Amino acid sequence: MYSRTLEIWVGVFVMLGFLALLLLTLKVSNLGSLYNDAGYLVTAKFQNIGGLKVKAPVKVSGVTIGRVTDIRFDNNTYKAIATLRIEPQFDKLPADTSASIFTSGLLGEQYIGLEPGGDVEYLHSNSEIYLTQSAMVLEQLIGQFLYRSAANGVENSEKK
């Protein structure tokens, strides 16, 4: 009888462990907030979004205030349009807020960072953020560095 009770408690403990692991996985992957429709939608156009993905965080001063809900391509302007869902409690973002794409750490996920402006009007549903800065692409930066290094090498050899 004692062995049977012990087996039941071990089974309960294992099930609680799996449940905790499942909840942790959902929290880390942001799938727990998959159906959160609260807030307002704002769009921003970027020349290059790099590796930005749907469900990427939208942050102000390092605080997550929303998520990227959609990314599409505009055939007229040849830019990427990111749709951002901002949580309803953050409804006092000035209309001249700027958006930039950043990377968390050297190889971390990309996110959109918002920098509030000073306008007296606020962003609202279906607003557009006009001041944007595209993602820095590592390959482009390395290419520019190599090009400048080669150009400096040619200038130095011509001076001799």
Query: Which residues constitute the domain of residue 114?
Result: 40-143
Of 26, 160, 44, 20, nearest in space to 113 by CA: 44
CB neighbours of 119 closer than 8 A, spacing ≥ 6? 94, 95, 96
- Residue with the bigger pLDDT between 107 and 131: it is 131
Please state the pTM of the whole predicted model: 0.69
Mean pLDDT of 37-53: 89
9 and 81 both lie in a single domain: no
20 and 67 both lie in a single domain: no
20 and 76 both lie in a single domain: no
Burial 13-52 (b: 16+ CB within 10 A, else e): eeeeeeeeeeeeeeeeeeeeeeeeeebbbbbbbbeebbeb
Residue 157 scores a pLDDT above 70: no
26 and 53 both lie in a single domain: no
Predicted confidence at residue 84, as pLDDT, reads 94
